[in-house]
Amino acid sequence: MYKNLQPATGDINYIQKFKPNFNNALYKAEIDVVGHHLSGLLLIKTLPDSTVRMVFSNEMGFKFFDFEFKQNGDFNALYVVKQMDKKPVMKTLKKDFELILLLRKDTQTSYLRKDGNSLYYIFPKQKGSFCYITDLGGSEMKTMEISSPHKPIVQAIMKNYTDGIPDTIGITHTNFNFTIGLKKIER
Amino acid sequence: MRKIILVLSILLSGLTAKPQLTGYTPIADLPKFKEQFAVIAKKTETIKSDFTQEKNLSMLSEKIVSKGKFWFKKDNLLRMEYTKPYQYLMILNKDNMYIKDGQKENKVSTKSNKLFQQINKITIDCVQGTVFSNPDFITKVYENKSTYLVELSPIGKALKEFFKSINVIIDKSDYEVTTIEMNENSGDNTIIRFTNREINTIIPDAIFAIK
């Protein structure tokens, strides 16, 4: 769906500068999954081997999930509460978090595009692509998208970085009611 | 109320305690414990307390600490007001639950079977003590010098998925619950400690009102 944009030159790896440094961050999290509202605390921690762990539990300590994202792209759900352990839900959460973790690396298929306002860092996947959109100067990440061949199906923002950690993260699905909102908490 | 239920569950459980927990031995005088517990439970009309909740993530060596205030009144009235790390209010009034999270308010009938709401209910049951009446638990009682420990092990498939065990620690001096430990199969746990307890102070029903 980005094919009609103008070709652009540059280093596709430049986008990695926006990769969040989730050394150890705690967020107030709200996840709405088709009619179900989950709220609680999401801990994101990077282990010494660069594996990123995400643990989501409710205010009373009840764990919903514990995910592991390896640097080589492997994903493991170390724990998922039974009610949430549905293939479409898991697939969606995995992709959404992969998007904000900027796990897609340069490949032979990735490419850059631009229009009058923005640069597009595009990482094709089997059907569609992951796309990171910055201003033309590359100083600001405007939005992140997962797209089908025809339209964006997930849109996400990360803003107000402090020491590489965004204060606010928002993920919205355009094709069904699934949103994730994260607000950083000082511990 | 919670103590009465605990006593009943102990009476019905067919006690076969074996030493398992560090520093604890199977209770020497179980009838005395049951009797005293029943007496105190009968006398306890209200509990007002502070609480500290620790979520321990064993593999990550992380601890998430929350704090707040706790009110309980017979029967089945419970208010937990989290003040850290952020404001979060939960009221259980008989069969209804009210949650206020920032500006968002949510009312739920605990009779309903909606997905995830049951998860909250289990947590509340643990805090309130009504989880003791669940026939899916095997109950064992241990003691050390200053406390009793009631270990609840789930038998039911659903609860086994959530908990390896729930330990309820009771002060020997006054038979009040001081700590609830919810142990997960992963080795993670959640520990709620009650401090500054006030027993049988007057708590107006309005504290538990769901508007």
**Long-range own/partner contacts, residues A34-40 (CB < 8 A, 24 or more apart):** A34/A176, A34/A177, A34/A178, A35/A177, A36/B114, A36/B115, A36/B116, A37/B106, A38/A64, A38/B116, A39/B101, A40/A64
Q: Minimal CA–CA distance to A67: which of A49, A55, A57? A: A55
Which pLDDT value is given to residue A14?
A: 92
Interface test with B, best of A60, A63, A66, A79 (most B CBs within 10 A): A60
- The pLDDT tens digits of the residues spanning B173-200 come to 988 889 989 999 989 999 999 999 998 9
| pLDDT at B134 exceeding the cut of 80 | no
Residue of A39, A63, A187 lying closest to B85 (CB–CB): A187
With an 8 Å Cβ cutoff, the interface of chain A facing chain B consists of 24, 26, 28, 36-39, 41, 43, 45, 47, 53, 55, 57-63, 66, 78-79, 81-84, 185-187
Q: How confident is the model at residue B133 (pLDDT cuts 50, 70, 90)?
A: low
Can you give the pLDDT at residue B15?
Answer: 39
Q: How many CB pairs under 8 A join A and B?
A: 75
pLDDT at A141 over 90: yes
Residue B122, helix vs strand vs coil: helix
User: What are the structural domain ranges in chain A?
Assistant: 6-184
Token reading at A89? 């839900």
CB-closest option in A38, A43, A186 to B57? A43
Contacts of A84 in chain B (CB under 8 A): 116
Amino acid at B4: I
pLDDT at A165: 94
- pLDDT score recorded for residue A130: 94
Mean pLDDT is highest, among A31-35, B48-52, B155-159, for B48-52
| pLDDT class of B130 with cuts at 50, 70, 90 | low
Among B85, B106, B184, whose Cβ lies nearest the Cβ of A63?
A: B184
Q: Which CATH number applies to A6-184?
A: 2.50.20
Contact B177, B204 (CB under 8 A): no
List pLDDT tens digits, range A51-94.
999 999 988 888 899 999 998 889 999 999 887 899 999 999 99
**Structure-model confidence comparison of residues B182 and A187, the more confident one:** B182
Q: Which long-range contacts (CB under 8 A, 24 or more apart) does B197-200 make?
A: B197/B47, B197/B48, B197/B49, B198/B47, B198/B48, B198/B49, B199/B44, B199/B46, B199/B47, B199/B174, B200/B43, B200/B44, B200/B45, B200/B46
A40: which strand partners?
Answer: A29
Task: List CB contacts (< 8 A) between B55 and chain A.
Answer: 41, 57, 61
Percent of chain A whose predicted confidence (pLDDT) is above 90: 72
B14 against A176, higher pLDDT: A176
Please confirm whether the linkage preceding A48 is cis (ω < 30° from 0). no
Residue with tokens 């990735």: A110
pLDDT at B20: 57
Angle between helices B2-13 and B30-43 (to 10 degrees): 160
Instruction: ipTM value, please give it.
Output: 0.85
Please indicate whether, in this complex, the C-beta atoms of A58 and B57 are within 8 angstroms of each other: no
Alpha carbon separation from B70 to A39, B46, B47, B126, B129 (Å, rounded):
20, 11, 8, 13, 14
Cα(A42)–Cα(A64) distance, integer angstroms: 10
CA distances from A153 to A6, A101, A113, A130, A175 (A): 22, 18, 19, 10, 6
B86: which chain A residues are within 8 Å (Cβ-Cβ)? 28, 185
Work out the minimum CA distance from A187 to partner chain B, whole angstroms.
7
Mean pLDDT of A99-103: 93
Q: Please state, in angstroms and rounded to a whole number, the distance separating the CA atoms of residues A35 and B114.
A: 10
For residue B52, give the chain A residue with the closest CA: A60
pLDDT for the residue A102: 92
Residue B182 near residue B127 (C-beta atoms within 8 A): no
The answer to whether residue B44 scores a pLDDT higher than 50 is yes
B18 pLDDT above the threshold of 70: no
The predicted structure's pLDDT at residue A57:
93
Query: B2 falls in which pLDDT band (50, 70, 90)?
Result: low
Choose, out of A59, A80, A187, the residue to mutate when testing the contact with B (most B CBs < 10 Å). A59
Phi (first) and psi of residue A34, to 5 degrees: 20, 70
- Give me the architecture of the B2-208 domain, per CATH: Clam (2.50)
* Alpha-carbon gap, residue A10 to A120, rounded angstroms: 11
Is B121 a residue whose pLDDT tops 60? no
* CA angle (A52 as vertex; B54, B58 as ends), nearest 5: 30
Average pLDDT over residues A132-155: 94
How many angstroms away from the CA of A46 is the closest CA of chain B?
9
For A8-164, strand residue ranges (E) read: 24-33, 36-46, 52-57, 63-69, 75-80, 111-114, 118-124, 129-135, 141-147, 152-162
Helix and strand counts by DSSP (H, E) for chain A: 1, 13
Q: What are the residues facing A45 on neighbouring strands?
A: A24, A53
- Give which of A106, A29, A31, A103 is closest to A68, Cα–Cα: A103
Q: Of A28-32, A126-130, A134-138, B120-124, give the lowest mean pLDDT range.
A: B120-124
Task: Give pLDDT, residue A33.
Answer: 82
Cβ-contact A187, A26 below 8 angstroms: yes
* Cβ atoms B80, B68 nearer than 8 A: yes
Q: Residue B116 pLDDT > 70, yes or no?
A: no
Chain B CB contacts of A61 below 8 Å: 53, 55, 66, 123, 182, 190, 192
Confidence of residue B120 (pLDDT cuts 50, 70, 90): low
- The arrangement of strands across the sheet holding B25-26 comes to B25-26, B137-143, B147-154, B165-171, B177-183, B189-199, B46-57, B62-73, B77-84, B88-93, B96-101, B104-109
